[in-house]
Every structure is written in C-alpha cells, then in structure tokens.
Structure 1
Amino acid sequence: MPDFFARPQFLGIDISDRSIEVLRFDNNRKISAYNRVELEDGIVLDGGILDGKRLAAALDEVLAGIRPRPVSAVISLSESKTFVRVLTVPDGLEGEALRQAVEKEARSAIPFPLEEAYADYIQAGRQTDGSRTVLYACAPREIVDGYASVLRGGGIEIAAVDIESLSLGRALLLPSESPRKPGAKAAGRTAGTMIADIGSRTTTIGIFDDDNALAVSVTVPVAGSRFTHAIAEKLKVDAAAAEALKRRYGLDRKDPGNNVAPIIEAEIRAVVEGVTDAIRYYQTRYGKDVGRILLAGGSALMPGIAEHFRSLLGLRIEIGDPAGNIGGDWRPGLPPILFANVVGLALHGQRGRQAVDLYKTAQKNKALPRLAEFTRAARQSPAFAAVFLAGAFALLGLSVFEYVLLRPFVPRPAVVAAPAPGPEDQEPAPAAEPSEPQPTPPPIAAEPEPAEVAAPEPAAQPAEARVRILPTPTGWLNVRQGPGSDQPVITRVRPGEEYVLLEETDGWYKIRMDGDNPGWVAAQYVGKE
C-alpha cells in the first residue's frame, strides 16, 4: 500500500561555473543516488547562464544514472547572485504585520524594486532594545527564472531555491551543531564556526554562531580558477597542465619539487584577508570569537592548504566532511567534499531546519492561475467535476483504509523527528559583492547602485586617470546622467571595460565613454587603475 503521507524525496542540484552535482537521499537519510559532471567554458559564468541549451544537455547527462527520474529539485544560486541582509523590525509582530514590516525595511535597504526579485526571510534574534532581527535574502527574478526554465525543459520543477551559506552549514555541521530551533545552544560549542568554501571562481565565507545560526556571509572573488591561471602564466604552461600541478603539489612546502606553492600563496592571500576581515567583523559586532574553520570546495583538496591557513591564522583548521553527517557509500574518485553544497540542498528538502526559499513567491504566483483554470474547467464541464470528486473520494477512502484499518497491524520503522527550523538570537551580516573581500559587503542587485544617493559637489580628478568596471551580478552596470540612483539611465557598460575617470564624488565616478560622452557609475563596482 503506498504511503501517501511519506516525506517527499527531493533531489539537490548544485550548478556552478565548472560542474554540476546532483544527490538524493532515501527516507532514512542515506544516499540513494548521486553524480557529477564537469562543465565546459562558456556555459555558466559567475552563476549566470550563458548557454541554456548546453546546460540542459549537461543536466541530462548528470541525471542519466538517477532512477527514478526526479521531477522536482532544490537548487541554490551563487552567492554573487544573491543579496543577504539583516533587517531590524519591532518585536512581537506576526503574520501579515511582520511581512509588511520586513518589506518596508527591505525597500530601504536594497537598491532595486522588490517587484524585480524573489525573496524570503527567517526570524533571527531578539535585541535588548525590544526589536527583532530577520535574515532577508533575495535574488533577481531573471536569474532565478533562467534556471527554472532550463530545469523545466528537462522535466524538473524547482521545489525551493536556497542560499549557499545556509546549505553548506546544513551539510558540514553535525546535527548537534547545525542550525535548529530558536535559542537552542550547540552541544560543546562556545565560539563560532566558519565555513570557507573555495570554489572555482569565488570563495564563500559563512560564520555560524554558538546558537547555530548564520551570523556572517561574505563572498571573496578569488578561488581555484585564479590559482590555475596564475600558475599557467608564471610557468608558461597551458591551463590543463597548470590545473594538474595545482592538484599535485598545492601548498605543500615539504615537497622539494613544488614550484607552484609560492604562486598559489600570492593568490590565496586575498582569501586569507577575507577570512581575517570576517572574523574581525564577527568579533566586533557579536563580541564572540571564531573557534575553528572548515574548508570546503574543490580547492580544499590541495595538499598543504589546511597547514597554510593554520600557520597564518593560528586557528583550528579542518577539511569539511559531509560524509560524517549522512549515511551511504561514496564511490572512489569522487571526494565527498565536492558534494557539500548539494548534500545541504537535499537536506533542505528532507529536513528543512534553517533555510530560506527564494522561489516561494513564484510558486504562490503560479498557484492562483492554476486554481482559476481548474475552477473554470469545473464550471464548464460537469463531467470534469464529477470525475475529480470521484477520484478525491477514492483517494480519501484508500487513506482511511490504510491508516484506520490496516496500519495498526503493519509494523512501521521508527521515524526520528526533525528539529524545528529557525535560529534564535542572531544578527546575520550582509553578503559581500564580489568586487572586494569585505565582511560587510555591498548588496547584490539587478541594478547594482546605492538607492537615493544625493549628488554632492564633485571634486576634479587628474586628467587621464582610468578605471575598470568590476564584475556585477547582472553582467552590466548602469551609467546615469548624474551622481545618484535617482538620475536617468543613459546607457550600460560591461565588466572588464576601461574608461577615463573625469570626476569623483561620494560613491560615484564620472567616466568618459565613446564619443566623449560623460556619465556616472556607482563606485562600488569600479576599480581605479
């Protein structure tokens, strides 16, 4: 007899610039299927889809061995594509009153209309002044819809869209340490735990405090591909050879044949600085220390990386191990650390715990039209309504038969209750924009410019000073007629382009474009030469 009330088995899908990982658990939280494929260049860049057709083909390949074929999945977006902010609202609010208060604070905190984003929030901690904090996360709708379209083309609907920091915490922190019900203290922990996921293009840094809640989330725009590129450039070898050298020698200074360690050390310095800044911010804001750091991502497999961080930071450094938090066997050649994020995504679907769902708004918007379509069909066709009611009564009868008559005589396996979701007494920090490794980074936005910035008197800059446009979550940067996000947009510029700097004022640069036309851009996405 089928169990109509069994917990659904969601598939976790982690899509990054370089690879796709998929993983699914059974009802006993053991791996039932998992797989991984590497992506070629030009398919995904900085979390944005460049070639949907090739990505769909790669998804078909990675899902080929997953049986039965999944119909829904939990995904996450790159931290460079999400915006995370701690908001303060009056304590005691619930339901619609809380939602309105959060929306009001969010509108003043993010520099683009909420109507252009998918968002979610979870309650965090209470403050001594009678206020409450919430962890608010959002992402541009066009980014989320792009992934939904590709997945839907392969017959998969999005069940939830999580953020990477929370997913990693779910996977790498043991149950006694991972986020659970508000106010619950983690067994044996008196200091925060940092997770540094050194991926291909970016490093995601998250600090979980002793109340098992995400307190700091930072993104550093330096990771494994930067190390590989530097090795290739310094040693005059191709990318494949450089990648092999990085994996073979890494940061292991004990190997006499290691001539790549100094190259990697120079590049990884930015990651170490990002870690140091995040710790300093955590200490200042929360008055707590970080007790250990868990390293994750493909670069965590480099020889000597834990020892390198330990020598520079003087902290307990470990390589994260999602296998210690779940059951099941891992195939040789596929290190579990590569699946850390997708493990957390699959746990989102099975257990919940501390999690956000940026796709919740989209699902609500789709539910109303579907309900309206069903109502119209029922009114227009009495036969349709009769068939539906007959099916509903049949399903109800089966359920009653099973749970009232049959189930008392059928032994059932014990079910372990999942801890209630939601952290307590935390104040998460904002996520970092990939322009500079800072512990209090600028927001990620579809139109990445500060909201309502007044235009003070600009100061003249020396002639021919030049600036370079830095990466943005949308792949472009708006150029405005004057300094301020209330000024009209006159054109767009792209990351990597260089322009002459004409003037500079608080938060804005005036640049000279083609044809000597001037315009103003947000300074947070511009680097001086």
Structure 2
Amino acid sequence: MLLKRKSIGLDIADRSIAVVELVQTNDSCEVINRGHLILPPGIVERGRIKDAKKLAAALHEVFTQAALDPFATQSEVVFGLPESQIYFHLFDLPAHQVEEREHLVLEAALMSIPLPANDLLYSYTVLSEETQKVNILLIAASRTIVSDWQSFFESVGLNVAKTFDVEPLAIRRGLFLESLSAPVCVVDIGAVTSGIDIFDDKGLRYTYSVLIAGDTLTHEIAKITKTSWEKAEELKIRVGLTKDGDNILATLVKILEPLGNEIKTALDYYKQNFGRPVAEVVFVGGTSRLKGLVDYFTANLDVPVRLGDPAVKVARRKKSPSQTTKRGIKTEASDQDIDFYYLEAIGLARRAFPGWWESIDPSLNLAEVHEVTSSKNVLAKIERTIGKEGIMVENVAKRVWSHKNWLAGFAVVCLIVAGLIGYWYLFYKSTNQYEAADKPLATDNRDVSSLVFPERPLKNLDSNLGIDADVGEEPSPGAEPELSNQEPDTAGLEEPSGAVVNPELQKVLILDTPTGWLNVRSGPGTNYPIITKVYPNKSYPLLQEGEKWYKIQLDNGSVDNILPVNNKSEGWVARQYAAKQ
C-alpha cells in the first residue's frame, strides 16, 4: 500500500522567494508544484520584514505561480529563518549528569549569545557524547524577530508551522537524501553574505559567514567599468570568470581569493579537530552559477568541487517565459535549468517528514518557552532554597533538644549541615568545571568560526549577562551606524572580508561604548584573547577589514600606557563600536 504525505517548504530570502510542494511516497520524494520570484530591494533586509504589504503581495504571486492556494492547503508550511538572523554555537561540555544539561546549556547561551535573557530563543542538540565531554550544537535567535515573522504569517492567513527551521540545515537536507557517509563542506554564496558550513554524519560541525557575495562582485565590476548596477550585473552573469573579460576576471579573482582562504581554513580546522579530511566542497546559491567559478575553486582547493543541485526530483512543466508582474516582481521561467532555486525550499519541506535529521537538527519554537535567567538569578534561587532548609534545620534542632535527645539531635544537625555543604560543593564544582572548559585558549584556533553573529545591530542588551565591550550593544546615541543594508552604489563599495587596507589612506575612529572602552583582541572573534583596550574618540590606522571586525595598528606597541599582551602592535576591534574615517 502506497503511503503519501505532502508538505510545503517556503524559502524567503532578501532577494527572492521560493516555494515547493513535496510529496513523499514510501521512500521516494518528488516536487509536484513550485514557484520562484525575485524580490526588489527593501522588502526583506537581513532576514527582517521591512515592507509587509509588498511581501504579502509577493507571497500571493509565488503561490499562484506554484498553483497552490495557501489559504486552502491542509499542509503546514515549513519556513526557515535566514542564516543572518541565527546564532550558531558549537562547544563541548565536560562530563556531567543528564539532569544538569539544561542548566549548563542555558549558561552557555547566556555567555555566548549577545541577546538579553528575555529575548533569547534557543534550542540545542547533542552531536556526540564521550566519556569526558559532550559536543553540543546550540542555535539561537531573537524571540522578537521570530514573533514578527509569526505575526506576519498570521496576518496574511498562511498556515505556517510554529517550529521554524534553519537555513544551513535545510540546504543540507535539500542536497542529500541520506545521512552523510563522509564530511562535506557546503558554501552558500548569497547576495550579501556567504556561508561556509561543514557537515558530517553527526550534523553541523563548523559554520562561518563572510561578507563576500554576489553584490560584492557586482559592486566591483560597476566600479572598474564605470557602469550602472544593472549593466554590471549583466556583465557578471555573461562574462564571469572567463577570459572574455580580462579586467573583470582579475577583479573577481581578487575578491574571491579571501573566500577561498576562508574555505581552506574551514577544511584545515575540520581535519585537525576530527582526524579526517572533508570529501568535497559543494557550492550553492545563485552566485555559485557564475561562469568559471567551479573551475577556479577546483584549481585552488585541494579537494573535489561541484555545484549543488536538489537531491529530490523536480517534476517538469511546460516552459513559459519570465515576466514582470504589475507589482514589479519578476517571476522566473518555469523550467529553464533553475532547479537550484528550490534547493532550500525542498529541504524545508522535507523537515515535515520523519527522517535521519530528526536527531541531529535543532529547530526554534516560540511556543517552547525556556525559563531564561541569568547566572545570578540561578544562584539566588539556590540561596533561597538553602535559606529555607536552614530554617528547617533550626526548627528540627529545637524539637530534638526539647525532647532532651541531645546526642541524636547533634547527629541529625551534623548530617543536614554536611548535606548542605555537599550540595554547594557539587553545584560550584559543576559550574566552575564548565566555565573552565568553556574559556578559550590563548591560541589562534578556529573555534571562533563556530560562533556566527547576525548581520545587524543588536539592541537593548542586558548588561547583567557579562558581555564585555566587544559586540552585542548598540553604539551610543551620538554615533552614526553603518548603513550596510542600503542599496549600494559603486562609490560606496565596501572592501571584501579579509581585504588588506592601506593604513595611510584610512583610519578607524573608536566610538562611545557602554563600558567606556573597547577591547582589542588577537583575532576577529570574542573567544580570541584580549590584548589591550582602546578608548572612544581616538583614531587608529586600518590594516584589514573583516565582516564584523576591524584590524587596527596600535600606537607604538602600547595604548594609553597599557602594554598589549605578547607585545602585539596590532589587533581586532568590533566594527559596531568603530567607524571608518
């Protein structure tokens, strides 16, 4: 007997929407309906809704194209939060009792994720468990942002599942039907950022995001050719990494080289930490179709490289030309080698079915409210509990002494006191053991890559969470934030991540911070050691620009008479507390 299940996957990115209806018959899957369109700028930015009315109209268009009635469907629609709004944290917990795990993971979330406790929505899964340690994958997002998306779907009457999926995990499910037998690196080149993720049979093992993507390439082409954005985009697609345009080829290679270096770093990290090499690198995302891109990375990476296509069969329909709707939204031709547009949507739809991913892929559910409190609140609860037990001890002692059983009473009091001391000892031992295990080593390892922060300013952070002056808090009201989500022009092209900057041409001004200083670290991440501090209203030469960090030249090996650790004369500061001059 054939058992059929249906589900719908909805992928909303900054520049596109894709929807698929997937049918599963026993062990096989097929896409029976699909739709895709390109979103104009300004509707969704960095994974946040900016124009709900236009987004609702776009949803109507794409469901119409897919021959689906979103309001009549009985299937829940599975939606995935964009990677730019997800925090990933991969870490090890020391050996512990299972009942202690929730508390330890909560402590890790509070220490690692720069969100206030009342806005923190998180989930986790155990990737592996050994005698001395447990490897955890933690994902988190802003409760406010998740709630905004849910409210939007409710307002348009769309039956979206309460559990939100996560972009990189959905892409892997779209690429592979079965659990992985060998580790794979997936590089998702989007419009604004590119994600580098490594998966194995246990799940996600490495994730990193860089500010090198399709828009970066278009900006630079527009700059060197002195053409419009539209013309530069057309040149990028038509010429790509071919010899037909030598100037364009050289420009694109210069931009893609740092991305290749980050991929090499990821591959080395996995091999060093897990003892085996990554089997292949799979490129996905619209820019991955750039002419010559696979050949370029094949020549520069010591590992097989290929383009990623959906592992699920896409049913063919009659071809129709692309067109622009009355609302200015461009719909793609229904069948012109564009299966890769639906890759993530297919992975989202598969989430509704049972499969190997259930035990290794966490998801976010707004209905599952965790009691998120700070460490101080946790300790306060224990102190109140012990305070009550102290009163109980006193009352027991009084009753025992009133009956003149002084020897028995003394023994009872000693036993209770010993129990309380043991309780305190075990709690602090587990807490301190965890904190010691979570502290970063003073080395430039790539564990920093396992913590990816969203591409947006973070507001209203709770100072009680112990977040130092690195990331996670808004600049002071007088500081002017970077407008990284503006439609870019060629004059304001941002340097690609990892690009070296001439210090004589550009400087970085330190902005006001809540603490009155800004940490300088040995690498671009909060788990690199602090080497010194710098203070607001001072400028430093800019050496290198990363996605969320600036590398600066320090003053003669010291800053305000504070000698940096290891006598380093350069270091990294968080971009949101610094501005290029």
Q: Secondary structure at the match of 2:315?
A: coil
2:172 maps to 169
Residue 207 (str. 1) matches residue 203 (str. 2): no
1:518 maps to none
2:83 maps to 79
Asked if the contact 2:86–2:140 (Cα under 8 Å) also holds between the matched residues in 1, the reply is yes
Asked if the contact 1:24–1:34 (Cα under 8 Å) also holds between the matched residues in 2, the reply is yes
2:68 maps to 67
- What are the residue-to-residue correspondences of 1:223-238 with 2, within 5 Å? 223-238=213-228
Distance in 2 of aligned mates of 1:297 and 1:278:
19
Q: Secondary structure at the match of 2:42?
A: coil
Give the deviation of 1:135 after TM superposition: 0.9
1:510 maps to 535
Q: Which amino acid aligns with 2:111?
A: S
Asked if the contact 2:207–2:452 (Cα under 8 Å) also holds between the matched residues in 1, the reply is no
1:140 maps to 142
Among candidates 243, 246, 250, match of residue 236 of structure 2: 246
Residue 46 (str. 1) matches residue 46 (str. 2): yes
Distance in 2 of aligned mates of 1:128 and 1:241:
59
Asked if the contact 1:348–1:355 (Cα under 8 Å) also holds between the matched residues in 2, the reply is no
1:180 maps to none
Asked if the contact 2:35–2:63 (Cα under 8 Å) also holds between the matched residues in 1, the reply is yes
Distance in 1 of aligned mates of 2:105 and 2:447:
27
Distance in 1 of aligned mates of 2:45 and 2:189:
16
Distance in 1 of aligned mates of 2:580 and 2:269:
26
Asked if the contact 2:316–2:335 (Cα under 8 Å) also holds between the matched residues in 1, the reply is no
Q: CA separation of 1:92/1:44 partners in 2, compared to 1, >3 Å: closer, same or farther?
A: same
Among candidates 187, 210, 218, match of residue 196 of structure 1: 187
Higher radius of gyration, 1 or 2: 2
Distance in 1 of aligned mates of 2:44 and 2:224:
27
Using structure 1 for the length normalisation, give the TM-score. 0.68
Residue 20 (str. 1) matches residue 17 (str. 2): yes
More deviation, 443-452/65-74: 443-452
1:343-370 CA-partner distances (Å, limit 9, x unpaired): 1111112235132221x2x23469xxxx
Q: CA separation of 1:10/1:99 partners in 2, compared to 1, >3 Å: closer, same or farther?
A: farther
Among candidates 424, 436, 449, match of residue 439 of structure 1: 449
Distance in 2 of aligned mates of 1:212 and 1:147:
30
Q: CA separation of 1:91/1:32 partners in 2, compared to 1, >3 Å: closer, same or farther?
A: farther
Asked if the contact 1:9–1:24 (Cα under 8 Å) also holds between the matched residues in 2, the reply is yes
More deviation, 445-454/331-340: 445-454
Residue 356 (str. 1) matches residue 346 (str. 2): no
Give the deviation of 1:7 after TM superposition: 7.5
1:113-141 CA-partner distances (Å, limit 9, x unpaired): 34302211111101341x21221101111
1:356-403 CA-partner distances (Å, limit 9, x unpaired): 221x2x23469xxxxxxxxxxxxxxxxxxxxxxxxxxxxxxxxxxxxx
Q: CA separation of 1:509/1:158 partners in 2, compared to 1, >3 Å: closer, same or farther?
A: farther
Distance in 1 of aligned mates of 2:171 and 2:342:
10
Q: Which amino acid aligns with 2:186?
A: I
1:219 maps to 209
Asked if the contact 1:168–1:340 (Cα under 8 Å) also holds between the matched residues in 2, the reply is yes
Give the deviation of 1:491 after TM superposition: 6.6
Among candidates 332, 339, 360, match of residue 336 of structure 1: 339
Give the deviation of 1:270 after TM superposition: 2.7
Q: CA separation of 1:522/1:140 partners in 2, compared to 1, >3 Å: closer, same or farther?
A: farther
Distance in 1 of aligned mates of 2:508 and 2:141:
29
1:307-350 CA-partner distances (Å, limit 9, x unpaired): 0001111321100111x344533742251112211111111122
1:264-309 CA-partner distances (Å, limit 9, x unpaired): 2122223212212212222232232222100100011111110000
Q: Which amino acid aligns with 1:72?
A: E
Distance in 2 of aligned mates of 1:93 and 1:304:
52
Asked if the contact 1:165–1:205 (Cα under 8 Å) also holds between the matched residues in 2, the reply is no
1:181 maps to none
Over the aligned positions, Cα root-mean-square deviation in angstroms equals 3.4
Q: Secondary structure at the match of 1:171?
A: helix
- The alignment covers a number of residue pairs equal to 403
1:34-64 CA-partner distances (Å, limit 9, x unpaired): 1011111111222222222211111111112
Using structure 2 for the length normalisation, give the TM-score. 0.62
Distance in 1 of aligned mates of 2:345 and 2:234:
25
Give the deviation of 1:200 after TM superposition: 0.9
Unpaired segments ≥5 residues, structure 2: 318-333, 371-439, 441-445, 485-506, 512-516, 522-532, 539-571
Distance in 2 of aligned mates of 1:147 and 1:113:
19
Q: Which amino acid aligns with 1:198?
A: I
Distance in 2 of aligned mates of 1:30 and 1:274:
35
1:33 maps to 33
More deviation, 445-454/105-114: 445-454
Give the deviation of 1:522 after TM superposition: 6.9
Query: What is the aligned-residue identity percentage?
Result: 25
